[in-house]
Amino acid sequence: MKEAVKAVRTLDCLGLYCPEPLFQTRENIDQIKPGEILEVITDDPAAEEDLKRFAKRAGHEVVFYEKDDDHMRFLIKRNE
């Protein structure tokens, strides 16, 4: 799955904590076109819920999510 989905932009939020990953994700997703994918990498524990909730409220879609020991990776598809 993750190999088939290609992000047009990667946002590195490692070392940043709430609410910065959410703010940066919102800003960056506005800079890509509908249908494109934003990759977000973060180690903020609050980001798991924050980014999933943001995507749903804003009408975007988390097409891939993985959690490793020290970070999380999101692929968020921008919708209209």
Q: What is the CATH number of the domain that holds 20?
A: 3.30.110.40
Q: What tens digit of pLDDT does each residue of 28-77 get?
A: 999 999 999 999 999 999 999 999 999 999 999 999 999 999 999 999 99
Q: In this structure, is residue 4 part of a structural domain?
A: no
Domain range for residue 44?
9-77
Look at residues 32, 41, 40, 37 and name the one whose alpha carbon lies nearest to residue 77.
37
The active-site residue, picked from 16, 18, 32, 62, is 18
User: What distance in Å separates the CA atoms of residue 70 and residue 48, rounded to the nearest whole number?
Assistant: 13
Measured CA angle at 56 (ends 16, 6), to 5 deg = 70
Confidence (pLDDT) at 13: 98
Q: In this structure, is residue 3 part of a structural domain?
A: no
* Catalytic-residue membership of 18: yes
User: What distance in Å separates the CA atoms of residue 57 and residue 43, rounded to the nearest whole number?
Assistant: 22
Q: In this structure, is residue 35 part of a structural domain?
A: yes
The SS3 call for residue 29 is helix
User: What distance in Å separates the CA atoms of residue 5 and residue 50, rounded to the nearest whole number?
Assistant: 22
Confidence (pLDDT) at 3: 53
